[in-house]
Amino acid sequence: MNSNKQIKKAAHFLLIPELLYSPPNDAIINAYLENNYIVDIYSPGNLCQETTYGNRVRTYQVSYSWFWLLSHVLKFKWFKYNCFSGTSEDPLAVIGILSALFNKRSFSLVDEIKSGSYGGDRSERWKRICQWSIRRSAFQIVNDINRISLVQEYARIRSVQSIMVYPGCFKDIPEKSKEERKRVREKWGLAENAFVIGSSGGFNMTAGADWLLDSVKEIEDLHAVIQPLGISALSIFLLQSLSISNRIYIQTERLGWREAWNSSQALDIGLCIYTNQAPQFQRMGISSNRLCMFLAMGVPIIASYQRSFEFLERYNCGIMVRDYDDFKSAINSIRTDYQKMSHNCQDCVEGYVKPKGYYAVLKQKIKELA
């Protein structure tokens, strides 16, 4: 670190602790550090004091409630920050109030757009403050170009000039290797030549769970790996009790972000199904962490049919489907053309996802805050 440069301080607020190392938050923290900031991370729940970012990143506990705000909002420590930032939706009310009270700059990562049937359960007063906080931000980040109009409508932003994109992709992608692919498959108990379809993250009826299980049932040499989040112990028990359980590996422990990305290189197909009709689920594109993960690790994709996924077929690294018949057909098509489609994933990451290009813009915008 150049000691001649002025050291600045930023407070970054997370919705949940597990988001610390997610690709967009990882990019924000690194961009802060490269712009000579000390970064204090605020999150509800337990977050380790020591992070992988070194001693210029510290962690503190927060609660997104009126009681916490009234108890903490007038503390002197907020004067010491040069910038406030946070993820949506709950943290945005806090950064809006703090940045306004102490006359500081702020920016918003609007990775969750709580609108329509996906409106959430916060009070209208809290939501209005979140929306005001987005409007007063120096810039807003969404994870896909198709979501710009969504956040513009949600927060009533008149101009889109302040809205930038950062995808659900790490700027530095984990290394891929045949040896690591083999090692992960051995851990899963799968043969090197097994054909494997994978699901990561939410595993439910709007995320293609039924299609995946039915396809394993009908295609006798198809294997599946499921890395689920937020499903009950009963659901895991039922999955393990299926007659096809010998061809399904279930990751019961939560993986870290980098660990999940690393393991995905052992898959042959990645599942990116979003049938929830709420607006943000129908404009996923490269806001989908799992989609970016699969592409970055060379895994062709089966995605639900929506305009934001059309680039997959343009780059021939994925297939969009409307129903289960399409889904089964896509498995066979990818299987036939797997090597070429896997190779095309890299072209898609470099030509469309472009994490390094978007990161450079993010870093410059944070530099300009000073």
Residue that has been written with the tokens 């939410």 in this structure: 202
Same domain, yes or no, for 134 and 148? yes
How many helices (H) and strands (E) the chain has is answered by: 14, 13
How does pLDDT run across 136-180, given as a tens digit for each residue? Answer: 999 999 999 999 999 999 999 989 999 999 999 999 999 999 999
For residue 359 the two structure tokens come to 């990161």
Q: In the chain, how many domains are there? A: 2
**Predicted structure pTM score:** 0.93
Same domain, yes or no, for 122 and 66? yes
Handedness of CA 124, 125, 129, 130 (dihedral sign): negative
Per-residue model confidence (pLDDT) at position 114: 83
Same domain, yes or no, for 218 and 297? yes
Same domain, yes or no, for 119 and 187? no
Q: Which residues contact 311 (CB under 8 A, 6 or more apart)?
A: 285, 348, 352
Q: For residue 175, how many other CB atoms are within 10 A of its CB?
A: 9
Which residue, among 180, 149, 143, 162, has the nearest Cα to 19 in the 3D structure? 143
Same domain, yes or no, for 68 and 97? yes
Per-residue model confidence (pLDDT) at position 118: 83
Q: Is the pLDDT of residue 2 over 70?
A: no
Q: Does residue 48 contact residue 17 with C-beta atoms inside 8 Å?
A: no
Interatomic CA distance for residues 170 and 364, integer angstroms:
17
Per-residue model confidence (pLDDT) at position 204: 87
Per-residue model confidence (pLDDT) at position 113: 86
Q: Which residues contact 257 (CB under 8 A, 6 or more apart)?
A: 21, 22, 23, 26, 170
Q: What is the mean pLDDT of the chain?
A: 94
The whole-number average pLDDT for the span 178-203 is 94
Which residue, among 258, 260, 266, 255, has the nearest Cα to 170 in the 3D structure? 258
Per-residue model confidence (pLDDT) at position 48: 79
Same domain, yes or no, for 203 and 221? yes
Interatomic CA distance for residues 57 and 35, integer angstroms:
13
Same domain, yes or no, for 153 and 191? no
In the chain, the percentage of residues whose pLDDT exceeds 90 is 84
**Confidence band for 1, pLDDT divided at 50, 70 and 90:** very low
For residue 195 the two structure tokens come to 């054909």
Same domain, yes or no, for 200 and 336? yes
How does pLDDT run across 50-104, given as a tens digit for each residue? Answer: 899 999 999 999 999 999 999 999 999 999 999 999 999 999 999 999 999 999 9
Same domain, yes or no, for 194 and 276? yes
Same domain, yes or no, for 216 and 163? no
Per-residue model confidence (pLDDT) at position 255: 87
**CATH value at residue 79:** 3.40.50.2000
In the chain, the percentage of residues whose pLDDT exceeds 70 is 99
Interatomic CA distance for residues 247 and 249, integer angstroms:
7
Q: Does residue 349 contact residue 169 with C-beta atoms inside 8 Å?
A: yes
Q: Is the pLDDT of residue 223 over 90?
A: yes
Same domain, yes or no, for 200 and 303? yes
**Phi and psi torsions of 171, nearest 5°:** -70, -30
Please report which helix (H) or strand (E) contains residue 218, including its range. helix 209-218
Which residue, among 302, 305, 299, has the nearest Cα to 329 in the 3D structure? 302
Lowest-pLDDT choice from 170-174, 229-233, 358-362: 229-233
Return the amino acid letter for 192. E
How does pLDDT run across 306-344, given as a tens digit for each residue? Answer: 999 999 999 999 999 999 999 999 999 999 999 999 999
Q: Is the pLDDT of residue 3 over 60?
A: no
Structural domain range at position 211: 178-353
